[in-house]
Structure 1
Amino acid sequence: MSTNPSFPRFLDVTRILALAAIAIAAPAWSQQAVPQSTAPVPLVAAPAASPVVHPDGSVDFRLEMPNAKAVTISIEGYAAPFPMVKDATGAWTYTAAHLDPEYYSYTFKVDGTDVVDPHNQTVKTSYFRVENVFLVPGGKPWELRDVPHGVVHRHRYHSALVNTDSEYYVYTPPGFDAASKQKYPVLYLLHGYSDDASAWTAMAKANLILDNLIAAGKAKPMIVVMPTGYGSMEMITRGWAAWQDQALVRLNFSRFGEALYKEVMPRVTQEYPLAPGRDQHAIAGLSMGGAESLLVGLNHPDDFAYVAGFSAGGLGDRNFELIFPGITETSGAGLSKRLKLLWISCGSEDGLFAPNQKLIGWLKERNVDPKVVVTPGRHVWPVWRDNLSNLLPLLFQAK
């Protein structure tokens, strides 16, 4: 099944309340003239706005919680929350002095409980939490521009291997015509832990990045497949503690690879005009998906010529010889020549920086020379958005 998602429609609460106030105030029968006033009388107070993004990059946040004792705000990319101040009206406020152009997620914490901003209808969901999102504009490649746009399709199916209902999203580039004979290269793009298959379009704006790069002639038109990245849903039901169970982690990685090859890839190949051959196939992902992309890509060099891991997570305590059995001191140089691109990146302040450096060192000892990218930042979407924006122009190009 394929659908083209659209923006949700929201009720105009202010208008509804205003109309209700008019209805209540108007008498059913009028027996005498009512004195008229020339002064405008607001029926409903103007709703407070939050966040308010100013041209200089400063951002105002506001939360009406007059009975709260302590309120903080956590903004993506910053290690510690910021305390909010209660004003004379009982509202809690905070102003960020300057934020770089970017999409940011944020949450309030009210007396120890996470709370979303009721004034902001733009949210990011995951299996564990809901966060608000806002944009500080600044001409970045992930912003909406007046260029031809591709389409994001949503497909649902039942995964017999994972024993759950699953889904994958597919981006088709501007001008895509399923009836034509044109075939497209394909990128399999994998999300991280706690997220779902919608994450790369909902939060990273991968579709807008591609629209803009293709329009500028910086990236090849391609099809992007974004599948659900779990090989075992026990990884979700057990929460973050699941990562302490190495047997479960191994099962999650291996079963995901099996589901990708046996369930997702056959469907996509049947549904979309994919160009054949390893030179037309790429795989990339972030965090858990970064580890999965490296595991799948490096263990299947006959299928993928482009392999990329962003902030790969879950490989730090693994025996690399066991999980990458085909990479040895004698075979590594040959693999390095076959790969048109092996990309490994991580944020400079990411807790996974050291494990990724360990993997890079192990690969280099075996004559595999990856492209190493260090991006300023933590384990956050701004790092991965930047990674994707810089990776896409390198795909499906002559080496």
Structure 2
Amino acid sequence: MRPDLSRALATAGHLLLLGLLLASVGHAQDAFVPASTNVGGAEYPRVSEDGRVQFRLEAPEATAVRANYWSGPKEDMERDAEGVWTVTAPAVAPGLHYYTFIVDGVEFADPSSRSFYGGSRYVSAVEVPEPGVDYYAVRDVPHGQVREVWYDSDVTGSWRHAFVYVPPGYDADLDTRYPVLYLQHGGGEDETGWVRQGNVNFILDNLIEAGEAEPMLVVMASGYARRADAADEPPPANRWEGLQRMFSVFEDDVTQELIPFVDETFRTIPDREHRAMAGLSMGGMQTFHTTLNHLDLFSYIGGFSGAAIPGGANGLDLATAYGGVFADPDAFADRVNLLWIGIGTDEPEGMYAGVNGVHTALAEAGIDHVYYESPGTDHEWQTWRRSLHDFAPRLFR
């Protein structure tokens, strides 16, 4: 082969390789799209299908900026000549992830992100899509509505706030009555969580349209409660005693105030066979406390990353817990249509061990229940979305 022809072919090969590399880089850049959780028109954060997120912040006078996933990596950001800080964070599990920016040691929400109530304050969050999964997305199906209500509680001596999901067609057929799921948020979050972070309305819309779940009402109330005469009580000795007090007040508010209000205001089927309760984390513990003390009111029970059985050396004395409801497995099965417990496989060791321990104790005692593990997720909303997606189709069948 002539030297000039050989050089020409080599040059052409190099140019082709360079073109392929540039195309690959361009495709990788194009793979990042604005997150669905951004405020209107904001280009950042940007997310990729493999779970990476590009963060950006204009802070020309800052000297150090970090992107701070609450339950994930903390990444130092790089500054350009214009004072714009950027970083591409490593891949995280799909779902909604809380984050903030730490600017010169001070934590800030991202002005480009919508705010969500978590950690007892409003913070930023980025939605990382799960490829091929749309059960919690807005789809072309009939949609229910989320309504905001207030009810006057003698238990707390205050007006209380809640959201109520009504299924598609609720206003079209005024003769139809519906079962009710009472669904609770976790500690540090509030009654907005299941709608704004959990997408409960879209999950139910999609399940109902597919015929996989019964049309139902979903009531989401504030899990924080203080008794009307609490000022006369001595302060709790420790955090656990404080939680137990709050759980007791919440139990009374749900059973004495909220349920009667919902049954009077909405077209419910007001009996235990058509009433369920579930919750995540703290809300799961509240669910166990409320339902197992009131099996006259509930027959479906769910704990998402949260379940508590008090007493015994390991906190699992099934013979005496909740008045001995677990002492007779056959009697329990006759009274409870569903006991459901779930946890994420990557949750903190203590949380995973606690929920898994409840499951193990129930199984050894012969208590019929469903145990679910969300693969690859932490103490986070993707665990609880998946939990609801498994739990809701089992109700009222």
**Which TM-score band applies after superposition, normalised by the shorter structure?**
0.7 to 0.9
Please name the residue that 2:195 is paired with. 201
Distance verdict in 2 for CA 1:244–1:84, change over 3 Å: farther
Identity %: 35
2:95 alignment counterpart: 102
Residue range with higher mean Cα deviation, 343-352 or 200-209: 343-352
- TM-score normalised per structure 2: 0.78
Cα displacement (A) at 1:204: 0.4
Amino acid at match of 2:393: P
- Aligned equivalents of 1:192, 1:55: Cα separation in 2: 28
1:296 aligns with 2:290: yes
For residue 74 of structure 1, what is the aligned residue in structure 2? Answer: 68
Aligned to 2:36: none
Partner residue in 1 for 2:111? 118
Give the partner amino acid of 2:332: L
Are 1:49 and 1:62, in contact at CA under 8 Å, matched by a contact in 2? no
Query: Relative to 1, partners in 2 of residues 1:255 and 1:56: Cα closer, same or farther, differing over 3 Å?
Result: closer
Q: Report the equivalent of 1:258.
A: 252
Cα drift, residue 368 of structure 1: 1.4
Instruction: Select the residue among 323, 326, 345 that pairs with 2:324.
Output: 326
1:183 aligned partner: 177
Amino acid at match of 2:269: A
From 84, 90, 99, the equivalent of 1:91 is 84
SS in 2 for 1:200: helix
Counterparts of 2:94 and 2:366 in 1: how far apart (Å)? 39
Contact 1:178/1:272 (CA < 8 Å) preserved in 2? no
| Residue matched to 2:341 | 344
Whole-Å separation in 2 of the counterparts to 1:284 and 1:332: 21
Partner in structure 2 of residue 6 of structure 1? none
Maintained 8 Å contact 1:327/1:366: no
Contact 2:272 2:296 in 1 (8 A): yes
8 Å CA contact 1:285–1:308 kept in 2: the answer is yes
Query: 1:261 offset after TM fit, Å?
Result: 0.8
Query: Who is 1:151 aligned against?
Result: 145
Counterpart in 1 of 2:383? 383
Across the aligned residues of Structure 1 and Structure 2, the Cα RMSD in angstroms comes to 2.8
Deviations 1:200-228 (A, max 9, x none): 10110101111111112211111001111
Q: Shift of residue 336 of structure 1?
A: 2.7
Residues 98-107 or 302-311, more deviating: 98-107
Q: 2-side partners of 1:100 and 1:359: how far apart?
A: 26
| CA distance in structure 2 between the partners assigned to 1:333 and 1:48 by the alignment | 57
Q: CA deviation at 1:320?
A: 4.7
Q: Secondary structure at the match of 1:72?
A: strand
Structure 1 residue identity aligned to 2:377: G
Q: How does 1:359-374 map to 2 (within 5 A)?
A: 359-374=358-373
Q: CA deviation at 1:92?
A: 1.4
Structure 1: gaps spanning 5 or more residues: 1-9, 13-46, 235-241
1: CA distance between counterparts of 2:100 and 2:90? 18
**TM-score after normalising by structure 1:** 0.78
Q: Contact (CA 8 Å) 1:192, 1:286: kept in 2 or not? A: yes
Is 1:165 aligned to residue 159 of structure 2? Answer: yes
Q: Is the 8 A contact 2:181 2:276 kept in 1?
A: yes
Greater than 6 Å deviation, 4+ residue runs: none
CA shift at 1:55, angstroms? 5.5
Q: For the residues of structure 1 that align with 2:51 and 2:357, how far apart are their CA atoms?
A: 37
Contact 1:295–1:323 at 8 Å: present in 2 too?
no
Query: Kindly tell me: are residues 136 and 355 of structure 1, through their superposed partners in 2, closer, same or farther at Cα, counting changes over 3 Å?
Result: closer
Assess if the C-alpha contact under 8 Å between 1:189 and 1:226 holds in 2: yes
Contact (CA 8 Å) 1:230, 1:256: kept in 2 or not? yes
CA gap 1:318/1:160 in 2 versus in 1, 3 angstroms: farther
Compare 266-275 and 374-383 and name the one that shifted more.
Answer: 374-383
SS at match of 1:132: strand
Any conservation in 2 of the 1:306–1:339 contact (CA below 8 Å)?
Answer: yes
2:53 maps to 1:59:
yes
User: What SS does the aligned partner of 2:61 have?
Assistant: coil
Matched residue, 2:126 = 134
Structure 2 distance, partners of 1:319, 1:296, is 17
Cα 1:327–1:274 shift into 2, 3 Å: same
2:245 aligned with 1:246: no
Q: CA deviation at 1:130?
A: 1.8
Aligned partners of 2:326 and 2:332 also within 8 Å: no
1:395 maps to 395
Alpha-carbon offset, residue 247 of structure 1 = 2.3
Aligned residues: 344
Counterpart of 1:177, as a letter, is D
Please point out which of 306, 309, 322 is paired with 1:312: 306
Structure 2 Cα separation of the partners of residues 334 and 313 of structure 1: 21
Aligned-pair CA distance for 1:231: 2.8
Which segments of 5 or more consecutive residues in structure 2 lack a partner in the other structure? 1-38, 229-235
Residues 232 and 126 of structure 1: CA distance in aligned 2, closer, same or farther (over 3 Å): farther
Q: How far does residue 318 in structure 1 lie from its aligned partner after superposition?
A: 5.3
8 Å CA contact 1:294–1:307 kept in 2: the answer is yes
Q: CA shift at 1:69, angstroms?
A: 2.8
Aligned to 2:21: none
SS at match of 2:324: coil
